[in-house]
Amino acid sequence: MYASVIVDIPSKSVNQVFDYRVPEGMLDILKVGHRVLVPFGRRTIQGYVMKLSEMTDFDLERIKEIARTLDIEPVLTEEMVIIAKHLADYYIDQYISVIETILPAALKANYKKVLRLAEGHGATAKRLLESHQQGGEVETRRLPAPVLEELAPHLASGEIKEETVITQHTKKKTALAVYSLRHPEVELSRAKKQQELLDVIESSSEPIFIRDLAAEGFSNHLVNELVRKGYVEKVERQMERDPYADRVFTLDPPKVLNEEQQHAYDRIAEMMDAGEPRTFLLHGITGSGKTEVYLQVIQKVMDEGRNAIMLVPEIALTPQMVNRFKSRFGDDVAVLHSGLSHGEKYDEWRKIKEGRARVSVGARSSVFAPFENIGAIIVDEEHETTYKQGDRPMYHATEVAKFRSRYHNCPLILGTATPSLETYARSERGVYERLELTQRAGTKVLPEIHVVDMAEEHRGGNTSIISQTLKEAIDQRIERGEQTVLLLNRRGYSNFQICQNCGYVPICPNCDISLTYHKSNSSLLCHYCGYESAVRRICENCQSDDVTFRGTGTEKVEEILRDMFDTEIVRMDNDTTRRKGMHEKLLDRFEEEEIPILLGTQMIAKGLDYPKVTLVGVLNADTMLNLPDFRANEKTYQLLTQVSGRAGRHALSGEVIFQTYNPSHYAIQLAKGNDYRQFYEKEMAFRRLARYSPFYFHVLFTVSSEDISKCLKATSHIHDALVDAVSDKSIIVGPSPSPLERINRQYRFQIMLKYKREPALLEVLGGLDEYYHEAYRTEGVSLRIDVDPQVIM
């Protein structure tokens, strides 16, 4: 038998399967999806079995044998092997990159070279090697040059050999436990505490962790005494890293569905019973009870012995969603998102893989949860661009969800109050089935929305970022003991520093963008490459001391709010949530301590559900309108609608205030009226005229290099290749500088291809990717091909 293996080398030159002979001893155990060690050139590396067959087209004498398997059960299911091939081909990437994205980072191989004694070694070689051991081994890269010179003769003679050791990135976690050796005649009447401990240990059918015994008041000394007397024995026992181990979840029984919710549930259940992979758009206004529909669909899935995947767009949404799901389904829920450590994610992934979890909740990458019997897949807030991976492989989680839905013949539910235009257009054509929820659950009504013209405010003498209307509304909430959510989609203290004498603005030396002032650590920071410098009070250009800061970020607004209202503020942005677990801690503090104001960037705009939040203020509704992106109006409408939905979700009525310099803009006015249908029709007219999605598909080519002339040459070459390859019906826009022309010292130019049908396109994209893979190695010119881009910055 022969195994086709993808090797763990992220290089275009080896982006193919290699055939290996399966040893006799592996014939009955080796399966598709197994991790294996294989000889490759002069080294041994990790690989993944993609196919097994009785025949091979390669020269039998040159085919090598698999060294060994790394797992008892395959880490990849046959479905994931198919998905890896599909994603690598469609998104123009390497198979191994996609496989490593599908699997938890813990399974990534670590390679190191060590020196070991060979058979027939002499005493001198043994003494030398042992004198340089650290932790029981001699790692080649840690040896200084003189030591390597000393060992060289013994390497040349073959007394010492170099081997590649492959280990997993993260191992299963273990801890000391004890179990009883079962001596029924034992009686420790003179040592009552020891007898009590022994009774506890004997009552357990499996070893008990010593840390758990300590929590019950039994000291290590007591345990050691029982070990010394031979009544119990210590053993290493595997334990799971459970990020929710210390949390208590109150049981949440199913709610009674209203008529619209029940209709949506019934249609989804009907397709589940029919085994049809139908895609549903669950279009429900904010607060309409979409989550309860999700929960009851998943309950039906579990009752039928199947599993479910629930995707949310951001970590900030995960805590509340986890609470809802854990309260409903308990330990059947596994959580997968980037806020967990490698070890925690690995253990949650193993819970799914081993069948100990029935439901996964998490962000984009959890679409690859290794379930083998899926009954439903749900994508909440389906319009969010975070479902598209920004780095290679640039897959879209919803596209993977569609693939898995077809593979398992199960429904896919795309839930949102503000569908992407592409999704809504498909529901109009009947490709997706649309289910509408037009009323808020229970007796709750949508909040009242007001638009404040900030130009009028300034003409009236108010130069603050807080309008008089918003200030009065916040004062009222503080007096009534209610809470306010304020959105400003710009972090930092000030946008930039400027010299008022000569106009000089400090720019990032690596990127074509001004540095943002962060007052908390008195630094100027680039939000693109991370460059940081200390604030200088003297102008670098003219040496004037007349320097000031302009623009307003969340850090500065927090300061303004504290002075204006003399109250506590919770600020949520990338600066305050950088450390693990801070999303949840800040939100818990906001709710439990009833902090009057939550201020944040767009991470607070969706998914949050607090009974005392009755006011939402958008401090600058124009932020996204000014982006050089054809989706700018759509993103503005979605953000405003989503954040408006945070107000008045429970018994108290809500109010929303949009502050803007463009009060008549249709995206703002239609968000005020919560009129998605009219927005859709108006925006689609523009898209049709400009020939953008959903009327055309897109591919974005971004070329980058430290040498601008190489960028120009490469984009000209790509443009010519596309002109020769695509039909006249397709549109090629560019080459042109990217909206952010230089990032991290790399100049960036781009080309946009718009097309409807190009059968030979994937072949052309593959050829360009291969060509510039080599060009990057030789000339430092890189090409990024983004199929179906969500952002064109």
Average pLDDT over all residues of the chain: 87
pLDDT of amino acid 652: 87
Asked if pLDDT for residue 478 goes beyond 90, the answer is: yes
- Residue of higher predicted confidence among 466 and 216: 466
Of the pLDDT bands very low, low, confident and very high (cuts 50, 70, 90), residue 170 is low
Question: Can you tell me the distance from the alpha carbon of 304 to that of 299, in angstroms, rounded to the nearest whole number?
Answer: 9
Take residue 480 and report the two structure tokens written for it. 């009534």
pLDDT of amino acid 247: 61
pTM above 0.75, yes or no: yes
Which parts are annotated binding residues for Zn(2+)?
499, 502, 508, 511, 526, 529, 539, 542
Lowest mean pLDDT among 211-215, 399-403, 480-484, 672-676: 211-215
Cβ contacts of 21-30, under 8 Å, gap ≥ 24: 21/63, 21/64, 21/65, 21/66, 22/52, 22/65, 22/66, 23/65, 23/66, 26/66, 26/69, 27/1, 29/69, 30/1, 30/3, 30/66, 30/69
Closest CA to 572 of 607, 609, 598: 598
Take residue 129 and report the two structure tokens written for it. 């090697």
- Residue of higher predicted confidence among 41 and 789: 789
- Neighbouring CB atoms inside 10 A of 296's CB total 20
Of the pLDDT bands very low, low, confident and very high (cuts 50, 70, 90), residue 49 is very high
Question: Can you tell me the distance from the alpha carbon of 727 to that of 715, in angstroms, rounded to the nearest whole number?
Answer: 19
Q: Which amino acid is at 607?
A: G
Lowest mean pLDDT among 481-495, 640-654, 670-684: 481-495
Percent of the chain surpassing pLDDT 90: 44
| Coil, strand or helix at 456 | helix
Take residue 127 and report the two structure tokens written for it. 């003494």
Q: Which amino acid is at 81?
A: V
| Cβ atoms 427, 635 nearer than 8 A | no
Q: Which of 10-24, 116-130, 411-425 has the highest mean pLDDT?
A: 411-425
Sign of CA dihedral 425, 427, 432, 434: positive
pLDDT of amino acid 561: 93
Lowest mean pLDDT among 518-527, 696-705, 730-739: 518-527
Asked if pLDDT for residue 699 goes beyond 90, the answer is: yes
Asked if pLDDT for residue 264 goes beyond 90, the answer is: yes
Q: Residue 18 is inside which H or E element, if any?
A: strand 18-21
| Cβ atoms 9, 26 nearer than 8 A | no
Question: Can you tell me the distance from the alpha carbon of 699 to that of 688, in angstroms, rounded to the nearest whole number?
Answer: 18
Which parts are annotated binding residues?
499, 502, 508, 511, 526, 529, 539, 542
Of the pLDDT bands very low, low, confident and very high (cuts 50, 70, 90), residue 686 is very high
Question: Can you tell me the distance from the alpha carbon of 418 to that of 638, in angstroms, rounded to the nearest whole number?
Answer: 6
pLDDT of amino acid 187: 66
Q: What is the pLDDT of residues 659-669, one digit of tens each?
A: 998 899 999 99
- Residues 6 or more apart whose Cβ sits within 8 Å of residue 752: 698, 699, 700, 701, 732, 733, 734, 792
Percent of the chain surpassing pLDDT 70: 93
Q: What is the pLDDT of residues 336-382, one digit of tens each?
A: 877 777 777 888 888 898 888 999 998 898 999 999 999 999 999 99
Going through 512-596 in order, the beta strands assigned E by DSSP cover: 516-518, 523-525, 532-534, 547-550, 569-572
Of the pLDDT bands very low, low, confident and very high (cuts 50, 70, 90), residue 635 is very high
Question: Can you tell me the distance from the alpha carbon of 659 to that of 457, in angstroms, rounded to the nearest whole number?
Answer: 10
| Coil, strand or helix at 677 | helix
Q: How would you classify residue 724: left for phi > 0, otherwise alpha for psi between -120 and 50, otherwise beta? A: alpha
Q: Which amino acid is at 212?
A: D
pLDDT of amino acid 244: 60
Of the pLDDT bands very low, low, confident and very high (cuts 50, 70, 90), residue 185 is low
pLDDT of amino acid 172: 64
Question: Can you tell me the distance from the alpha carbon of 768 to that of 721, in angstroms, rounded to the nearest whole number?
Answer: 8
Asked if pLDDT for residue 248 goes beyond 60, the answer is: no
pLDDT of amino acid 226: 85
Measured in residues, the chain has a length of: 793
pLDDT of amino acid 484: 94
